[in-house]
Amino acid sequence: MLTLLLCVFVGLLLFGVPIGFAMLGASMLVIGLEGIPVSVVAQRVATSVQSFPLLAVPLFTLAGALMNESGISERLFNFTRAFVGHIRGGLAQTAIVGNVFLSGISGSSVADCAATSRVFVPQLTQAGYGQGFAAAVCAAAATLGPIIPPSILMVIYAWQANVSLGDLFIAGLIPGVIMALAMMLVIGVTAHRRGFPKDAAFSGEKLWYAFKEALWALAMPILILVGFRMGVFTATEIAAVACAYSLIVGLYVYRTLNWKGLPAILLTTGRETAAILVIAAGAAPFGWILGIEQAPQQVAELLTAISREPWVILLILNVALLVAGMFMETLAIMIILVPILIPLLTELQINLLHFGIVLLVNLVIGQITPPVGVLMFVASSVSKTHLGLIVKEIGPFIIALIGALALLTYVPQLSTWLPQYLKT
């Protein structure tokens, strides 16, 4: 039945059925053939979404939408431009540094990519960087969104792997900085090779003005992390705090939001949340059948037959995840594979917190890897850039991020040290 389940699932995908409904349809067919009451499907679907941690998904989605509409992202980018714009290629570096701060507000790489592309592609193109390179920079920069907390994908992984969401948030800080530095190195090398321009000379007065303008935006990630660390609110409540903060700043501080525009923002949030939760709900009966058919045990036996060395297993998983990311949607990979892999990781004593970061970095690399790199499509759509131009320029960023992935995979302390330190 395991073979039938997977074949039907793949077949439905090939016919263009959305992935959540493909999992649900394959599950219903197998359950029906096994003589199990179909009501089990409804029970599994309903139970899967009745989870307190999943409440953070719509709230983080709403926070990202409010952030984009309130002008927070533009003020962050103006500050980072005043900070690094004076170096060669500094305007492109601004997109990377800006996304370090932006990722501390939004939990979505797609929202970050849309905001960055809208602001930077016209500016970079006008400055002579080339439209393809500009869009590639924006797509690559947005990969920081799910790594630097808060993060929707972290919420899903913590829910699946039963690890502390707060620890996972903290674990993403150092890896996020490493990824940002790797992409900044690519831009620096490219800037010198192609002779990209500099902004005006560094100005302390200009930096101070930009800092004051961005102060409310910069305070948000600090508020979130400090408030969580001091126990003022839980990791799930962070999402609600982010929403409230973005709304208040947009309405009463920057005055770029108005009450009339909120229904459209809520409607967009509802659509994006529904897309995520449909996949989570469809995966519940699908994963239940995988468990009954002992898929986790079969995968564990297959991989341990190759080697029982954790570094070899991690190498195999990295390669498999990178390939899967080229063809499958990020959330679907996580929801399908994490329950299968947890028993193997536990048996080999691989830290689940560390693997969570490794998994997320793999998945965000997949978001900029052809042919199904969703961030490339977002950057292309928002900036009206031909996809082929982005594909030509995205390669060095992928290589840099794979280098960062290798470092994070085999130096687990980069992910685990900070959560452990903050507990002492």
Question: Angle CA(393)–CA(105)–CA(53) in degrees, nearest 5?
Answer: 110
Question: Crossing angle of helices 262-292/295-306, nearest 10°?
Answer: 70
Mean pLDDT, the chain, whole residue set: 84
100 occurs within a structural domain: yes
Residue 249 lies in a domain: yes
The pLDDT of residue 64 is 74
DSSP-assigned states of every residue in 118-150:
HHHHHHHHHTTS-HHHHHHHHHHHGGGTTTSSS
Exposure on the CB side of residue 90, measured as CA atoms within 13 A: 17
How much is the pLDDT for 53? 67
Look at residue 362 in the predicted model and tell me its pLDDT.
Answer: 93
Angle at which helix 387-410 crosses helix 374-383, to 10 degrees, equals: 140
Number of domains in the chain: 1
CA 415 to chain centre: 16
Q: Does residue 211 register a pLDDT over 90?
A: no
Q: Which amino acid is at 259?
A: W
CA–chain centroid gap for 142, Å, is 8
**Calpha distance 416→174 (Å, rounded):** 10
> What pTM value is reported for the model?
0.82
In the structure encoding, which two tokens stand for residue 234, read together? Answer: 């839980």
What's the CA gap between 241 and 243, in Å, rounded?
5
Burial 164-199 (b: 16+ CB within 10 A, else e): bbbbbbbbbbbbbbbbbebbbebbbebbeeeebeeb
- Single-letter amino acid code for the residue at 415: S
Q: Can you tell me which residue has the tokens 């193109």?
A: 125
- pLDDT, tens only, 337-367: 888 888 889 888 999 999 999 999 999 998 8
Rounded to 5 degrees, φ, ψ at 381 are -70, -45
Residue whose C-alpha is closest to residue 368's, from 335, 391, 384: 391
Q: What tens digit of pLDDT does each residue of 122-164 get?
A: 888 988 888 999 999 999 999 998 898 878 888 889 888 888 8
C-alpha triplet 359, 364, 367: angle, nearest 5°: 135
pLDDT > 90? residue 185: yes
Bigger pLDDT: 78 or 414? 414
Q: Which of 260, 242, 332 is nearest to 57 (CA)?
A: 242
Q: Tokens 């719509």 map to which residue?
A: 58
DSSP state of 201: P
**Do 381 and 135 touch, CB atoms closer than 8 A?**
no
Please say whether the beta carbons of 408 and 358 come within 8 A: yes
Q: Which residue segment(s) compose the domain that 387 sits in?
A: 54-268+295-423
The token duo for 340 is 């299968």
Return the amino acid letter for 215. Answer: L
**Burial label, 231 (beta-carbon count in 10 A; 0-12, 13-18, 19+):** exposed
Q: Is residue 20 part of a domain?
A: no
Taking residues 239-264, report their average pLDDT. 84
In-domain check, residue 397: yes
Cβ pair 73, 102 in contact under 8 A: yes
Please give the average per-residue pLDDT across 160-180, as a whole number. Answer: 90
How many whole angstroms separate alpha carbon 348 and alpha carbon 65? 41
Is 43 domain-assigned? no
Interatomic CA distance for residues 21 and 213, integer angstroms: 46
369-413 tens-digit pLDDT: 887 788 888 888 888 889 889 999 999 999 999 999 999 999 999
pLDDT at 172 (0 to 100): 92
User: What percent of the chain shows pLDDT beyond 70?
Assistant: 96
Q: What does the pLDDT average to over 4-33?
A: 83
pLDDT band at 289 (very low <50, low <70, confident <90, very high): confident
* Residues 224-242: tens digit of each pLDDT: 777 766 777 776 777 788 7
| 16-25, 123-132, 291-300: which is most confident | 123-132
Dihedral of CA 188/192/197/198: which sign?
Answer: positive
* Coil, strand or helix at 318: helix
Position 44 scores a pLDDT of 77
Higher-confidence position of 172 and 160: 172
- Confirm whether 392 is domain-assigned: yes
Mean pLDDT in residue range 209-238: 76
- What one-character-per-residue DSSP string does 86-98 give? TSTTHHHHHHHHH
CA pair distance 203, 129, nearest whole angstrom: 23
Residue 296 clears pLDDT 70, i.e. is over it: no
Tens digit of pLDDT for each residue in 53-106? Answer: 677 778 877 877 787 777 777 788 888 888 887 788 888 898 898 888 877 776
Question: Is 276 inside a domain boundary?
Answer: no
> Would the pLDDT of 265 be above 90?
no
Asked if the structure places residue 278 within a domain, the reply is: no
Tell me how far apart the alpha carbons of residues 385 and 379 are, in angstroms, rounded to a whole number.
7
Q: Are 116 and 99 in contact (CB under 8 A)?
A: yes
Place of tokens 């089990």: 40
Query: In the prediction, which pLDDT does 406 show?
Result: 96
Would you say residue 368 has pLDDT above 70? yes
Q: Are 131 and 94 in contact (CB under 8 A)?
A: no
In angstroms, rounded to a whole number, what is the distance separating the alpha carbons of residues 237 and 207? Answer: 33
